[in-house]
Amino acid sequence: MRIGVMVELFRDTDVDERFRELRSMGMESCQLVCWDQDLMSQCTADQVNAAASRHNVDITAFWCGWEGPKVWDFYDGQLTLGLVPEAFRFERMKTLQKGIDFAAMIQVRDVATHVGYMPENPYDPNYPAVLACLKALVKQCKKNQQNFLFETGQETPVTLKRAIQDIEKETGKGNVGINLDPANLIMYGKANPIDALEVFGEYVMGIHGKDGNYPTDGHKLGQEVPLGKGKVNYPAFVAKLKDIGYTGDITIEREISGEEQKKDILMAKNLLEQLINEN
**Of 178, 223, 183, the residue nearest 73 (C-alpha):** 223
**What is the phi/psi pair of residue 226, to 5°?**
-60, 145
**CA neighbor of 255 nearest in space, from 72, 104, 91:** 72
Cα dist from 268 to 210, 214, 251, whole Å: 8, 20, 10
Q: Of the CATH numbers 3.20.20.150, 3.30.930.10, 3.40.190.10, 3.30.830.10, which one belongs to the domain with range 3-272? A: 3.20.20.150
d(CA 226, CA 233): 13
Mean pLDDT of 68-82: 96
Give the per-residue pLDDT at 279. 60
Residue type, position 93, single letter: M
DSSP 203: G
**Of residues 212, 215, 138, 202, the one with CA closest to residue 181:** 212
212: pLDDT strictly greater than 70: yes
Separation between Cα atoms, residue 62 and residue 70, nearest integer Å:
19
Mean residue pLDDT across the chain:
96
The pLDDT of residue 83 is above 70:
yes
Closest CA to 223 of 186, 258, 194: 186
What confidence score (pLDDT) does residue 257 get?
85
Cβ contact 227:211 at 8 Å? yes
Average pLDDT over residues 235-263: 94
The widest CA-to-CA distance across the chain, in whole angstroms, is 51
Torsion of CA 135, 139, 145, 147, to 10 degrees: -10
Residue 202 DSSP one-character state:
G
Share of the chain above pLDDT 90, in %: 97
Say if residues 187 and 162 touch (Cβ distance below 8 Å): no
Alpha carbons 110 and 31: distance in angstroms, whole number: 9
Q: Express each pLDDT in 94-151 by its tens digit.
A: 999 999 999 999 999 999 999 999 999 999 999 999 999 999 999 999 999 999 999 9
**Rounded to an integer, what distance in angstroms lies between the CA atom of residue 193 and that of residue 177?**
16
Segment 154-187, tens digit of pLDDT: 999 999 999 999 999 999 999 999 999 999 999 9
The CA angle 41-99-86, to the nearest 5 degrees, is: 130
Work out the average pLDDT over 37-59: 97
Domain ranges of the chain: 3-272
Residue 153 has pLDDT above 80, yes or no: yes
Write down the pTM of the prediction. 0.96
SS3 state of residue 207 = strand
pLDDT for residue 278: 86
pLDDT of residue 43: 96
